[in-house]
Amino acid sequence: MHTLTVRTPSHNYPIYIGRDLLDSAHKLLKPHLGKKAAVITNETIAPLYLEKIQTALTRAGVPHFSIILPDGEEHKNWQTLNLIFDGLMTHRAERKTTLIALGGGVIGDMVGFAAATYQRGAPFIQIPTTLLSQVDSSVGGKTAINHPLGKNMIGAFYQPQAVLADLATLQSLPPRELAAGMAEVVKYGALGDSTFFEWLEQNMADLMAQQPDKLAQAVYHCCKMKADIVADDETEQGIRAWLNLGHTFGHAIEAEMGYGVWLHGEAVAAGCVLAGRLSEQLGTLAPEDTRRIAALMQAAGLPAEPPCFPFEHWIAHMSHDKKVESGIMRFIGLNRIGQANITEITDTDILHRTLSPYLP
């Protein structure tokens, strides 16, 4: 098992990474639990892993109850959040009741936000069960729900007490979801670590086959990178923005296609390649680097090109992005593999040139 400590101004907390950790969850969770626990999951994950958590809590001697939510990004909203509060109120959860998020990023984000606001702040623990949530959403303390007019628009920065990433849970993950998580893994290499990027190039087949040691190494490395970045910049004033590599283009793809048609990671994969192409247009990146990013995304079974849709739609989607500040579009670009930059675009011609191969 690897243990990583995340240091933030609010508090420090551990991330445990390893195989079959749910089997020793009673020991791992015990020091981080309050008087009572609420396990919050969804109807897909409950039949797979809820019983293990319930058993662990019973063994740890902590009274608990469970709340099972509908599955899907379309339920990451106010109505579902209220189901969490209904369950907490019905079971008379107190401020010292620990909320346990068992699931992917949707569950983690919603439960985190519920924890941030329930009785002005209840402790919570993340048990991420998708690759994306293990390498990305469970680290860093961003929590949110969606608003009908925008994704993740209502939320809070709120850190968990602990994160427990059991790699064995990834075996039940649909292959497309595994690949989507891998897009974020590749993103880490591209934005900040060329050695890791090269290691991914050499090991992608083993990673996709879930070779245990290599998968653990990759998850650990990504969590470490994100934790270090977040420690420097918890509320995204500076370099935390680098983690958005590929995301401005990616969000446009998701919005255009309709959420869920392209998975987030699939859109980010194509988005990272577009970020490379934009940097080529700006003269900061060599075409060979973009080619390597595209090849690595494809090796993970991910798209390296966006779908075709009109330029005006791209601009409309990208100007709704949270990263837009006073009409200037901010992109995360690259100087080379392993070094990102923040690029401000006011001249849309350069975006037109970047996207021209994919315009109708």
Q: Mind telling me the catalytic residues?
A: 120, 142, 184, 226, 236, 240, 244, 247, 251, 264
Cβ 92 to ligand NAD, closest distance in Å?
28
Most distant CA pair in the chain: distance in Å?
63
If 0-12 CB within 10 Å is exposed, 13-18 middle and 19+ buried, where does residue 104 land?
Answer: buried
Helix (H, G, I), strand (E, B) or coil at 134: helix
Cβ 355 to ligand NAD, closest distance in Å?
24
Q: How far is CA 294 from CA 181, 208, 298, in A?
A: 16, 16, 6
Confirm whether residue 198 is marked as ligand binding: no
Footprint on this chain of ligand NAD (rule: CB under 6 A): 42, 44-45, 48, 71, 73, 76, 103-107, 109, 129-130, 132-133, 136-137, 140, 142, 152, 169, 172-173, 177, 180, 264
- Per the rule left: phi > 0, alpha: psi between -120 and 50, beta: everything else, 359 is beta
Confirm whether residue 230 is marked as ligand binding: no
Nearer residue to ligand NAD within complex by CB, 177 or 289: 177
Confirm whether residue 86 is marked as ligand binding: no
Q: How far is CA 231 from CA 6, 62, 235, 340, 345, in A?
A: 7, 31, 10, 18, 28
Confirm whether residue 233 is marked as ligand binding: no
Closest CA to 273 of 193, 186, 359, 338: 186
Cβ 72 to ligand NAD, closest distance in Å?
6
Nearer residue to ligand NAD within complex by CB, 127 or 345: 127
Task: Name the phi and psi angles at 186, rounded to 5.
Answer: -60, -40
Confirm whether residue 105 is marked as ligand binding: yes
Q: Do 138 and 95 contact (CB within 8 A), yes or no?
A: no
Cβ 136 to ligand NAD, closest distance in Å?
4
What gap in Å lies between CA 296 and CA 282, rounded to an integer?
23
Q: Do 105 and 177 contact (CB within 8 A), yes or no?
A: no
- Per the rule left: phi > 0, alpha: psi between -120 and 50, beta: everything else, 206 is alpha
- β-bridge mates for residue 147, sequence order: 150
Nearer residue to ligand NAD within complex by CB, 116 or 285: 116
Nearer residue to ligand NAD within complex by CB, 200 or 268: 268
Element (H, E) at 173: none
Confirm whether residue 74 is marked as ligand binding: yes
Torsion of CA 346, 349, 354, 360, to 10 degrees: 130
Confirm whether residue 266 is marked as ligand binding: no
Nearer residue to ligand NAD within complex by CB, 40 or 62: 40
Q: Do 245 and 191 contact (CB within 8 A), yes or no?
A: yes
Cβ 21 to ligand NAD, closest distance in Å?
13
Task: Name the phi and psi angles at 101, rounded to 5.
Answer: -90, 110
What gap in Å lies between CA 18 and CA 216, rounded to an integer?
6
Nearer residue to ligand NAD within complex by CB, 45 or 191: 45
Confirm whether residue 106 is marked as ligand binding: yes
Cβ 286 to ligand NAD, closest distance in Å?
29
* Feature table: binding site: 71-76, 105-109, 129-130, 142, 151, 184, 247, 264
